[in-house]
Amino acid sequence: MPTRSLHSIIQQLGLLLLIAIHLPLQAGQSPVDIDDAWIAEAPPMSRVMVAYMTFTNHSDKPVTLVKAESASFKSVEFHETVEKDGIASMIYHESLTLPAGSRLALKRGGLHLMLFSPTRALRAGDTVSFRFTTTDGQVITQNVKVRRR
């Protein structure tokens, strides 16, 4: 076999290998990125904590998160702080829709993740893993650090 064609076969094999490695990654890749994520540190024994983060939906379709969970909390809910007649209160949202091709920020005084009943003591510097499930069953995971307010 001429060296040249052997070389070409090796190149093609290398290309196939690259494709084989890349495909599963792309299939599992989420159209949603999370950044600026943090959990506000709370006094010890607090039964409720709050998390903020910014979601970026890179896809051309809205993505709806129907479930948020973490092993570090008994439950996680989508909440929104609203002010009416000077009184702030919180609304519970069953899901959170991330508009196509844009960013949605969960921040103080607005949308947030309400974290109920920590299953372990959490202090600034600790990392908590979250799992978000979309309507079509995709799972997005994100590690979030606890920080001082």
3-class secondary structure, 12:
helix
CA distance 66 to 125: 28
User: What is the helix (H) or strand (E) element at residue 65, kind and residue range?
Assistant: strand 63-69
For the segment 5-64, give every residue that binds Cu ion (CB under 5 A). none
User: Binding of Cu ion at residue 114 (CB under 5 A)?
Assistant: yes
Query: CB atoms < 10 A from the CB of 128, how many?
Result: 22
Q: Which of 78, 79, 111, 130 binds Cu ion (CB under 5 A)?
A: 79
Question: Closer to Cu ion at the Cβ: 15 or 116?
Answer: 116
User: Quick one: which segment of 12-20, 38-46, 83-91, 134-142 binds Cu ion (CB under 5 A)?
Assistant: 83-91
SS3 content of the chain, % helix, strand, coil (to 5): 15, 50, 30
Q: Is 90 in the site for Cu ion (CB under 5 A)?
A: yes
Would you count residue 106 as binding Cu ion (CB under 5 A)?
no
* Interacting residue ranges for Cu ion, rule: CB under 5 A: 79, 90, 114
